[in-house]
Amino acid sequence: MSETLGGAAGLWLAVVASGLYHGINPGMGWPLAVSAALMERRPGALWRALCALAGGHLAAMLAMLLPFAAMTLLVEWQRELQIGSGTLVIGLGLWLLATRRHPRFLARIPPSRLALWSFLVAIAHGAALMLVPIYLGICQTVETDAGHAAADRLMRGNAGLAVAVATAHTAAMMAAGGALSWGVYRWLGLKAITRGWFDLDRVWAASLVVVGAIALATSL
| Residue range 41-78, pLDDT digits in tens | 888 889 999 999 999 999 999 988 887 776 645 556 66
Burial zone of 36 (CB within 10 Å; 0-12 exposed, 13-18 middle, 19+ buried)? buried
The answer to whether residue 153 scores a pLDDT higher than 50 is: no
pLDDT at position 74:
55
pLDDT at position 170:
92
Nearest residue to 30 via CA among 91, 163, 121: 121
Q: What is the mean pLDDT of residues 16-28?
A: 85
Contacts of 101 (CB under 8 A, 6+ apart): none
pLDDT at position 99:
76
What are the structural domain ranges in the chain? 2-219
In the chain, the percentage of residues whose pLDDT exceeds 70 is 70
The answer to whether residue 214 scores a pLDDT higher than 70 is: yes
CA distance 127 to 169: 10
Got the DSSP string for the chain? -HHHHHHHHHHHHHHHHHHHHHHH-GGGSHHHHHHHHHHHT-HHHHHHHHHHHHHHHHHHHHHHHHHHHT-TTHHHHHHHHHHHHHHHHHHHHHHHHH-----GGGGGS-GGGHHHHHHHHHHHTTHHHHHHHHHHHHHHHS----SGGGHHHHHHHHHHHHHHHHHHHHHHHHHHHHHHHHHIIIII-THHHHHS----HHHHHHHHHHHHHHHHHHH-
Q: Label residue 3 by pLDDT band (50, 70, 90).
A: low
The answer to whether residue 23 scores a pLDDT higher than 80 is: yes
The answer to whether residue 40 scores a pLDDT higher than 50 is: yes
The answer to whether residue 144 scores a pLDDT higher than 50 is: no
CA distance 220 to 162: 23
